[in-house]
Each structure stands twice: as structure tokens, then as C-alpha cells.
């Protein structure tokens, strides 16, 4: 008996250290980089008093691992105010909003390629919208490593893509190029079959996503759902009414940025009336998504599915006389970042290159190349934002409060960031549908 007791004692010592070593080995394969403050020896803190002790609410965890990535198209971080129902759900259901989240490149395709690879654009090669992605995506790698993992992509892939079927996806609903001009009648490739769909795009994409998560409820899966809103032409059903009197043009509309490069100090004024009409179209398409997305996200959160909601980039709507992407300002390079069932420090400086890195870790699959992204457990003091080709190429180093920009040619600019209040000022009057459309929404929501 004494021999057996000694044996159990030895096993209790060896096993934990072996597990710790295995985890360190895996983390080193994912991302060897760590900040100096994380490598310091841990200090022992005094035990908290009963008043300081907080019992965290338990988060449901899906088993096997399941994750859904939801992206918007050209949505600014302050556009979150046009999603009051989603904001309410976030606050009531332990959602995380990360106010220090940035894209790796403020342009559609380079940013989405980073989401699917965990690499900066300078490393995955998609430095503009017309460039093809030649690196393996997380979806290809997952299918090769474990065919039992179900994968789905619903929405835009890349502008350079020919529009055919990609066999690494169990659910494939996409289209050729980077735009849908008619949001009510679309030519889509659905699992290899060219199909004309006559349904409002946001409704159709969400319905397909809902069918996917129900079909594979007992399987490990990774779903990428990309809404077209609020990208041009920003259409919504004619019987969806939204009060545009709530829409305000930005504080620095038509103001010259005297700290910008000389080229940007010579821009002409924008016509405010026409611009505001288009801004109203943008936010109305966002508000429509707000009216339909909450039941779907609630279903996922209740099941323990890990959910991330972001945008591929923002958009300047007249700040400093700019009307585009490809700019270093936070309205363009910062992204809304909402997470459910993830353990992430809300104040973490986060890049979209981290998303794929953490999917590899979640599904316990080794990436096919060294990643630029970090696990969410690792902190960083700065991050990189790149921009190529369009207007003035630049690189930005982002820290807690500033964006330090170096443009091609050597011009430097320091941009101070505003206070983050993305969820603190939701609009009071959300859009609504007429009776006919409302009945359709109620019927569809009943199926969610």
C-alpha cells in the first residue's frame, strides 16, 4: 500500500509539469513573440477581501469547438450607434467590445485576406483589391488537418476571385468580384451551382448562416458570414423606414487637416447635402442588419459558440475632406470588435491578424506558416497598419493613444485618437418595417 501511495504522489507531480510543457510547445509554434512585461517573473498578490472578490458568470462552451466570424463591409467603429438592439444585447449578455481593435490594412481585400490567414498584407501578398490570395487560408488548412471540421463562407470572398466553387467549404454562398449592385436580385454560386436569388441580400445571407449552424449543431465548425452593408450602393427594402434626422455629419467634416501631407491640405470642399443623403443610406443598411441579427447571435451565444463581429475596414465620410478608405485615421483603420464566449482583455490592443491565430489555437491545428497574429492571452504595446498603392502609401504604428504615420516619401504625421464611446451613444429611434414586411420578419425570426 505504501508503494502505491508513493506512486500516486509521483504521478501527481509529473503530470501537471508535462501538460505545462506541452502547452508552451504549442504556443511557441503558434507565435513565439511575447512582450517583455509578460516574460517577467510572476509576483504573488495578497488574497482579495470578500468585497474585492467577484465571481464571474459562467460562459457556455460549445463542445466540439464552434466559431462564427461576422463581418460588415466598410463599417466605421462609430457606426455601432446605429445598432441599438445589438448594443442592448451585448450589454445584457456579457459581450465584449474592444475599443482598441484595428485592421491590418484599411482596404477590403487585404484586410479580409488577413482575417483568413493571420498574416499582414506584406506577407500574404494581397496588397490591393485586384491581387489574388496565394497563401493557404484557415479553411483550407482546417479541411486538410481534420475533414470533420465543417466550414462555411457566406458573402464576399475576394474581388479577384472568379466566382466559382471552393471545395474546402461545406457551405459556399458567394459571387464573382467584390460587389453586388442589385441587393434584391443576385447571381450567386451556391455550393457549385450558379443561382439567381431574388431576396434581400442581408436576409438571404443570414438565413443561410442560420441553416448552417443548425445543420452542423453537433459538429466542429467555422463559419464566415460577410454582410454587404454598408458598402455602396447601401440599399434597403423600400418599406423599411429609418429616421435620417438622427444622422449627423462628423465633427471634422470639410475641415483641412493641417498636420496631413501637403497633398491632403489642398483637397476641395465636399457638397454636404448630397453626402449626407448617402450617409443616410449607409446607416440605414446597418440599422436593417441590427433589426435582424440579434436572434441569430443569441442562438449562438446560448449554445456556447464563439462569436466575433468586426468590419473589414472603416470609411471616411468627409472628415478632413476625405471620402474613402486607405487612410490612417481611426475612422478608417479602427474597427468595431464585439466578442462573445471569448476570454479577451477589453483594453487589449488588438489587430484583425489575431483572429485566424486564435482559430488555430481553438481548433488545436498547427498553421502552415509562421503567423503575424498573437493569441488573445498575449499583450502588445503597438501594432502595425499598412497601406499600399492607393494615393499615398503609408505605414502606421498604433499605440494606446496615438497613430504615428510614415508616408511614402518620408512625411510623418502623429494622429491623436479620440475617446472610445462606440457603444455609449445608440440612436433612440431604430428603423422599422411596414406591416407587410414586418410579418415576413416575424415569420423568419420564428425559424431562428
Q: How many other β-carbons are positioned within 10 Å of the β-carbon of residue 366?
A: 11
d(CA 271, CA 291): 31
Write down the pLDDT at residue 48. 38
For residues 174 and 157, is the Cβ–Cβ distance under 8 A?
A: yes
Specify the higher pLDDT residue, 40 or 370.
Answer: 370
**d(C-alpha 446, C-alpha 448), whole Å:** 6
Which pLDDT score, from 0 to 100, does residue 440 have?
Answer: 52
What pLDDT score was predicted for residue 435? 58
From its phi and psi, is residue 94 left (phi > 0), alpha (psi between -120 and 50) or beta? left
With a cut of 90, say whether residue 210 has pLDDT above it: yes
Q: What is the pLDDT of residues 299-323, one digit of tens each?
A: 999 999 999 999 999 999 999 999 9
Averaged pLDDT, 76-99: 96
Residue 6 has pLDDT above 60, yes or no: no
Question: Where does 66-447 sit in CATH, by number?
Answer: 3.40.720.10
User: If you search the block for the grid coordinates 425559424, which residue do you land on?
Assistant: 447
Strands 337-340 and 150-154: unpaired
Q: What is the mean pLDDT of the chain?
A: 86
Residue 100: CB partners within 8 Å, gap ≥ 6?
347, 348, 349, 350, 400, 420
Nearest residue to 129 via CA among 161, 151, 90, 104: 161
pLDDT in tens, 9-68: 333 333 333 332 333 332 333 333 333 333 333 333 333 333 333 334 456 676 799 999
Q: What percent of the chain has pLDDT over 70?
A: 83
Give the residue extent of every domain in the chain: 66-447
Helix 435-447, helix 201-215: angle, nearest 10: 20
Instruction: State residue 216's pLDDT score.
Output: 98
Identify the burial level of 40 via C-beta atoms within 10 angstroms of its C-beta, where 0-12 means exposed, 13-18 middle and 19 or more buried.
exposed
Contact indicator for 82, 322 with CB cutoff of 8 Å: no
Q: Please report the pLDDT score of residue 58 as a whole number.
A: 56
CB atoms within 10 A of CB 304: 15
Amino acid at each position: 500500500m505504501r508503494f502505491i501511495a508513493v506512486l500516486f504522489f509521483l504521478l501527481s507531480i509529473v503530470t501537471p509539469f508535462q501538460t505545462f510543457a506541452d502547452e508552451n510547445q504549442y504556443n511557441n509554434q503558434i507565435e513565439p513573440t511575447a512582450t517583455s512585461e509578460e516574460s517577467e517573473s510572476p509576483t504573488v498578490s495578497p488574497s482579495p477581501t470578500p468585497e474585492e472578490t467577484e465571481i464571474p458568470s459562467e460562459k457556455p462552451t460549445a463542445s466540439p469547438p464552434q466559431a462564427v466570424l461576422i463581418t460588415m463591409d466598410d463599417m466605421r467603429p462609430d457606426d455601432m450607434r446605429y445598432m441599438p438592439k445589438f448594443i442592448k444585447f451585448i450589454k445584457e449578455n456579457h459581450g465584449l467590445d474592444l475599443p482598441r481593435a484595428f485592421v491590418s490594412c484599411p482596404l477590403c481585400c487585404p484586410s479580409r485576406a488577413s482575417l483568413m490567414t493571420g498574416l499582414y498584407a506584406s506577407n500574404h501578398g494581397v496588397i490591393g483589391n485586384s491581387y489574388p490570395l496565394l497563401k493557404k487560408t484557415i479553411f483550407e488548412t482546417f479541411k486538410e488537418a481534420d475533414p470533420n471540421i465543417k466550414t462555411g463562407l457566406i458573402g464576399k470572398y475576394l474581388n479577384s476571385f472568379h466566382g466559382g466553387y471552393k471545395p474546402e467549404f461545406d457551405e459556399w454562398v458567394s459571387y464573382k468580384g467584390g460587389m453586388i449592385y442589385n441587393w434584391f436580385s443576385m447571381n450567386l454560386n451556391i455550393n457549385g451551382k450558379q443561382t439567381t436569388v431574388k431576396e434581400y441580400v442581408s436576409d438571404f445571407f443570414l438565413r443561410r448562416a442560420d441553416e448552417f449552424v443548425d445543420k452542423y449543431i453537433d459538429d466542429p465548425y467555422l463559419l464566415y458570414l460577410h454582410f454587404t452593408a454598408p458598402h455602396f450602393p447601401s440599399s434597403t427594402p423600400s418599406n423599411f423606414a429609418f429616421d435620417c434626422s438622427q444622422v449627423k455629419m462628423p465633427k471634422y467634416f470639410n475641415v483641412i487637416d493641417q498636420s496631413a501631407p501637403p497633398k491632403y491640405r489642398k483637397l476641395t470642399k465636399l457638397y454636404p447635402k448630397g453626402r449626407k443623403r448617402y450617409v443616410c443610406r449607409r446607416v440605414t443598411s446597418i440599422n436593417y442588419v441590427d433589426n435582424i441579427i440579434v436572434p441569430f447571435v443569441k442562438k449562438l451565444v446560448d449554445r456556447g459558440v464563439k462569436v466575433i463581429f468586426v468590419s473589414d475596414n472603416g470609411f471616411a465620410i468627409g472628415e478632413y475632406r476625405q471620402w474613402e478608405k486607405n487612410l490612417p485615421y481611426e475612422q478608417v483603420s479602427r474597427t468595431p470588435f464585439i466578442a462573445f464566449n471569448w476570454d479577451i482583455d477589453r483594453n487589449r490592443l488588438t489587430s484583425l491578424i489575431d483572429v485566424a491565430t486564435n482559430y488555430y489555437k481553438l481548433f488545436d491545428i498547427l498553421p502552415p506558416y509562421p503567423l503575424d497574429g498573437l493569441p488573445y492571452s498575449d499583450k502588445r504595446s503597438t501594432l502595425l497598419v499598412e497601406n499600399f498603392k492607393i494615393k499615398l502609401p503609408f505605414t502606421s504604428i498604433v499605440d494606446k493613444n496615438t497613430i504615428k504615420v510614415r508616408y511614402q516619401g518620408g512625411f510623418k504625421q502623429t494622429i491623436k485618437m479620440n475617446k472610445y464611446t462606440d457603444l455609449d451613444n445608440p440612436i433612440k429611434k431604430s428603423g422599422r418595417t411596414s406591416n407587410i414586411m414586418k410579418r415576413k420578419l416575424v415569420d423568419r425570426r420564428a425559424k431562428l
